[in-house]
């Protein structure tokens, strides 16, 4: 009895010190009301380029529903900095700001650099350079107020017909994808931002876009273990901060509920089996793959194991609906179920603690103020520009020997995308792909004096529309056997062309990719006499 009395005396003597030793996250959590805790779960879209009514909608969300996070959409650097400074100043608790910057800020932001997409980086295969681009993306993201990059994509794109992943994935080999994911995670984290591997349990082998419908992944569990899960396991080993769920029906895991709403998937596998202790972020809960009401979806995602309930869109009416209807309805539904005991407040405290600890780790409790000074020059630094050029240069794939054609005179035929061509690639015919190029070439007879033709093919559309190329264009490419094919788009398009001659793959319709391909042609001593109309 005396011993217990002494323990109480010691505790009360140390109580002020213990309070001082509390972290900001712990102290803040202990002071939050139920309403405020629920608000910390939500991550709605914020669009800095929208008008004042959008800002008012956000002010209402922060004041009435205590929203604690945002995902950025349409923006430019200066507008975003001003918007976020205003948004943060209106919130008692700093907001965690996320963005999709898979290949850099340009994925969502004007006036910024677009680095190569993951398919290009995966083909390059240089893990040190992937680390460097991750670090540069992280540096730029931090400067414009982004704390959590919803990247890298960890899907293994084993299905060339995949309508939503494609060039966003590092490749088709799970070991190679895992190595690239790890390098990108390390790079971005070195710049002081949080990372998010997506889309668990694996969106790579789907033929349906989950923005529009619910994809089915029919594979057995052993296949998931050896392919889809591999990059996520590696990301967890590397200390990835968050993992995003996918809206998929995977019967081997759960035959009734999509992954985002599946306890078996997010808690049973991701938390318990794979040992992930970070933030689980839902993919956008307003996507059409989820057919329930906003109330049912939000409650289901939380019950499954999500910590952050994300909503996103690119169209103003849909964004307005999310802010004015979906999020308030979901927030109220969660509150009702916490109040009546259907949902556990202990579980809520666990999620909110993770979110607050992430904010504390980023130093957001100290300051969220962003500086506009020198932002344009910093986002287009010489180092960043050089890195981008080097990445495209290292990524070019050369098959065959262009110099084997030994042309004395080479014509350049450019198909697709004339607005984005570099000056180096002047067109024989610069016309949109839907024009009858083949007939024009046959009638003009302008190629008869040339020893070879270099065909620059610029990807111009999705796979379901033959990457933007008409049957006439495809026939033309097939009809020129003595040609060098320069492909500025996904290699999946090669299934259309069946080109037997030399091939240069630049992967993307980017001026730096074009310059990289041109430099190889020059090194191969191919004469670059350009034929014009």
User: For residues 121 and 438, which has the higher predicted lDDT (pLDDT)?
Assistant: 121
The top-scoring range by mean pLDDT among 54-63, 415-424, 491-500 is: 54-63
User: Which pLDDT does position 474 carry in this prediction?
Assistant: 77
User: Which pLDDT does position 430 carry in this prediction?
Assistant: 37
Q: Is the per-residue pLDDT at 1 higher than 70? A: no
> How far is the C-alpha of 371 from the C-alpha of 143, rounded, in Å?
8
- Phi then psi dihedrals of residue 344, to 5 deg: -85, 125
User: Which pLDDT does position 409 carry in this prediction?
Assistant: 59
User: Which pLDDT does position 271 carry in this prediction?
Assistant: 98
pLDDT class of 524 with cuts at 50, 70, 90: low
User: Which pLDDT does position 467 carry in this prediction?
Assistant: 78
Mean pLDDT, range 208-214, rounded to an integer: 90
User: Which pLDDT does position 529 carry in this prediction?
Assistant: 38
Q: Is the per-residue pLDDT at 428 higher than 90? A: no
Mean pLDDT, range 213-238, rounded to an integer: 97
**To 10 degrees, the CA torsion angle through 20, 308, 177, 223?**
120
User: Which pLDDT does position 465 carry in this prediction?
Assistant: 77
Residue-wise pLDDT for 430-454, tens only, equals: 333 333 454 444 434 556 666 667 7
Sheet of 69-72: strand order equals: 45-46, 69-72, 96-99, 148-149, 194-200, 242-245, 279-281
User: Which pLDDT does position 471 carry in this prediction?
Assistant: 76
> How far is the C-alpha of 455 from the C-alpha of 484, rounded, in Å?
6
Element (H, E) at 410: strand 410-415
User: Which pLDDT does position 518 carry in this prediction?
Assistant: 80
> How far is the C-alpha of 157 from the C-alpha of 173, rounded, in Å?
8
User: For residues 530 and 285, which has the higher predicted lDDT (pLDDT)?
Assistant: 285
Mean pLDDT, range 360-387, rounded to an integer: 97
pLDDT class of 424 with cuts at 50, 70, 90: very low
Mean pLDDT, range 1-20, rounded to an integer: 49
Residue-wise pLDDT for 255-264, tens only, equals: 999 999 999 9
* Domains of the chain, CATH where assigned: 33-383 (3.20.20.300), 396-523 (3.40.50)
Tokens 């209402």 found at: 60
Q: Is the per-residue pLDDT at 408 higher than 90? A: no
The top-scoring range by mean pLDDT among 13-22, 230-239, 400-409, 500-509 is: 230-239
Tokens 């190029």 found at: 437
User: For residues 209 and 132, which has the higher predicted lDDT (pLDDT)?
Assistant: 132
User: Which pLDDT does position 530 carry in this prediction?
Assistant: 34
Whole-structure pTM value: 0.90
Instruction: Name the active-site residue from 283, 326, 510, 512.
Output: 283
> How far is the C-alpha of 154 from the C-alpha of 524, rounded, in Å?
36
Mean pLDDT, range 296-321, rounded to an integer: 97
Q: Is the per-residue pLDDT at 499 higher than 90? A: no
Mean pLDDT, range 496-516, rounded to an integer: 86
Mean pLDDT, range 195-204, rounded to an integer: 97
pLDDT class of 185 with cuts at 50, 70, 90: very high
Instruction: Name the active-site residue from 173, 211, 434, 472.
Output: 211
Contact 173, 180 (CB under 8 A): no
**Range of lowest pLDDT (122-136, 217-231, 370-384, 477-491):** 477-491
User: Which pLDDT does position 527 carry in this prediction?
Assistant: 38
Smallest CA-to-CA distance from 460 within 470, 451, 452 is with 470
Average pLDDT, the chain: 87
Mean pLDDT, range 197-220, rounded to an integer: 94
User: Which pLDDT does position 13 carry in this prediction?
Assistant: 52
316 catalytic per annotation: no
Q: Is the per-residue pLDDT at 418 higher than 50? A: no
Strand-pair partners of 310: 43
The beta strand positions in 201-256, using DSSP E, are 242-245
212 catalytic per annotation: no
Question: In whole angstroms, how far apart are CA 159 and each of 166, 194, 459, 508?
Answer: 8, 29, 19, 20
Residue-wise pLDDT for 263-280, tens only, equals: 999 999 999 999 999 999
pLDDT class of 413 with cuts at 50, 70, 90: low
pLDDT class of 291 with cuts at 50, 70, 90: confident
- % of the chain beyond a pLDDT of 70: 83
**Range of lowest pLDDT (209-213, 368-372, 495-499):** 495-499
Token readout for 31 is 């002071």
203 contacts: CB under 8 Å, gap ≥ 6: 155, 162, 164, 165, 210, 215, 246, 248
Mean pLDDT, range 122-129, rounded to an integer: 96
- % of the chain beyond a pLDDT of 90: 68
User: Which pLDDT does position 528 carry in this prediction?
Assistant: 39
């Amino acid at each position: 009895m005396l011993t217990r009395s002494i323990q109480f005396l010691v505790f009360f003597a140390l109580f002020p010190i213990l309070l001082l030793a509390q972290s900001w996250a712990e102290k803040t959590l202990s002071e939050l009301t139920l309403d405020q805790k629920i608000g910390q779960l939500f991550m709605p879209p914020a669009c800095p380029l929208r008008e004042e009514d959008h800002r008012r909608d956000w002010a209402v969300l922060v004041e009435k529903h205590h929203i604690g996070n945002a995902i950025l959409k349409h923006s430019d650097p200066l507008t975003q900095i001003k918007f976020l400074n205003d948004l943060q100043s209106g919130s008692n608790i700093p907001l965690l700001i996320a963005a999709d910057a898979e290949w850099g800020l340009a994925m969502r932001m004007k006036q910024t650099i677009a680095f190569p997409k993951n398919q290009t980086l995966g083909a390059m295969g240089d893990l040190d350079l992937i680390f460097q681009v991750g670090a540069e993306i992280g540096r730029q993201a931090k400067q414009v107020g982004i704390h959590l990059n919803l990247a890298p994509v960890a899907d293994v794109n084993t299905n060339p017909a995949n309508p939503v992943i494609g060039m966003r994935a590092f490749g088709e080999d799970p070991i190679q994808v895992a190595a690239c994911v790890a390098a990108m995670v390390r790079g971005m984290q070195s710049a002081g931002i949080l990372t998010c591997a997506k889309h668990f349990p694996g969106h790579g082998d789907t033929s349906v876009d989950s923005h529009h419908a619910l994809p089915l992944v029919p594979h057995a569990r052993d296949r998931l273990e050896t392919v889809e899960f591999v990059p996520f396991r590696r990301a967890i080993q590397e200390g990835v901060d968050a993992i995003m769920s996918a809206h998929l029906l995977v019967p081997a895991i759960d035959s009734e509920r999509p992954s985002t709403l599946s306890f078996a998937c997010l808690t049973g596998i991701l938390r318990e089996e794979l040992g992930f202790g970070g933030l689980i972020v839902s993919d956008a809960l307003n996507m059409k793959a989820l057919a329930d009401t906003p109330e049912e979806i939000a409650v289901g995602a939380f019950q499954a194991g999500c910590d952050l309930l994300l909503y996103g869109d690119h169209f103003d009416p849909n964004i307005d609906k999310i802010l004015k209807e979906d999020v308030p309805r979901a927030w109220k539904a969660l509150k009702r179920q916490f109040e009546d005991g259907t949902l556990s407040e202990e579980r809520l405290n666990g999620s909110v603690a993770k979110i607050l600890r992430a904010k504390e780790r980023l130093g957001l409790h100290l300051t969220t103020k962003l500086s506009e000074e020198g932002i344009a020059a910093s986002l287009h630094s010489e180092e960043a520009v050089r890195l981008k050029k080097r990445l495209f240069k290292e990524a070019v794939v050369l098959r065959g020997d262009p110099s084997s054609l030994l042309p004395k005179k080479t014509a350049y035929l450019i198909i697709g995308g004339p607005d984005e061509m570099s000056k180096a690639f002047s067109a024989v015919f610069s016309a949109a792909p839907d024009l009858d190029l083949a007939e024009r070439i046959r009638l003009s007879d302008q190629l008869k004096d040339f020893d070879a033709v270099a065909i620059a093919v610029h990807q111009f559309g999705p796979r379901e529309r033959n990457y933007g190329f008409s049957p006439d264009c495809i026939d033309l490419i097939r009809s020129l056997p003595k040609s060098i094919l320069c492909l500025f788009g996904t290699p999946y398009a090669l299934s259309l062309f069946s080109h037997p001659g030399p091939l240069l793959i630049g992967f993307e319709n980017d001026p730096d990719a074009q310059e990289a391909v041109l430099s190889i042609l020059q090194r191969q001593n191919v004469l670059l006499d350009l034929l014009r109309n």
